[in-house]
Amino acid sequence: MKMLSHVSVANAVTSVLIEGAPSPLEKLREFMETHRMKSKMGPQSFADFERDLHARVMEVERDLVATEMARHDIDADAVVIDGKVHRRVLRQSQTYETAAGNVVIERTLYKDRTDEDGRCVSPMELALGIIGDFWTPRAAQQALWVVTQMTPKKGEDLFERVGNMTPSKSSLGRLPKVIAERWEDNREAFERMLRDGLEIPEGTVSIAVSLDGVLAPIDGANSPTEVRAKAVNEGRQSKGPAG
């Protein structure tokens, strides 16, 4: 695996910033130097330090992620996608939800001019697997796990407390629907992949239990017909499940 040096990381971060502005690494270094000059540290001030440090580290991560995403953008007159020529339409900025928070990337959009109803597409988004409301795959995985454990509103509160990405409850609510549509489009293939990946322990058996309160003889030895016949002989009307 190729490792980035501190110098190359700093250059990568600086390349996406406004010229002359301090880089996130420089702001992080300045923050640490200022913090070390403080002589006193208590529980509250240490909690504030943890919060502020995390926010600055996330800023560095966001810029590195943005740099890597922008590297996959293609700015040409035309590109071939799925065997079809797509022509350049425009360059436009878009906000993406990453695991480190929102990043803004300028990317080029293309369109198949032979398909009037076709949508503009971004080669960068296709290459990186951007999902739904512009989620990166890692961010979507985390968000989906959260909304399986709690409501979108509580998920929004959780992410705000953690201090990484900041999705809204409405965005969290839409994401499972987007994934559900993709699942249904390829459900048989996905289910086959899941079955193939299951490891069934040796000696495992299957047990099926079903219960029907109307037709299954679950109470007493008499059949439903005998129960109803007895009720008629006694001048009663048989009601409800018999047997």
Q: What is the pLDDT of residues 86-96, one digit of tens each?
A: 999 999 999 99
Size (the chain), residues? 243
| pLDDT at 146 > cutoff 70 | yes
Q: How many CB atoms lie within 10 A of CB 163?
A: 14
- Residue 142: HSE in the Cβ half-sphere, 13 Å Cα cutoff: 18
Integer Cα distance of 207 and 68 in angstroms: 51
Whether the CB-CB separation of 138 and 99 falls below 8 Å is answered with yes
| pLDDT at 239 > cutoff 70 | yes
- Confidence band (pLDDT; 50, 70, 90) for 214? low
Question: Looking at the chain, which runs of residues are DSSP E strands?
Answer: 78-81, 84-98, 101-111
For residue 160, what are its two tokens? 């705000």
| Contact partners, residue 127, CB within 8 Å, separation at least 6 | 72
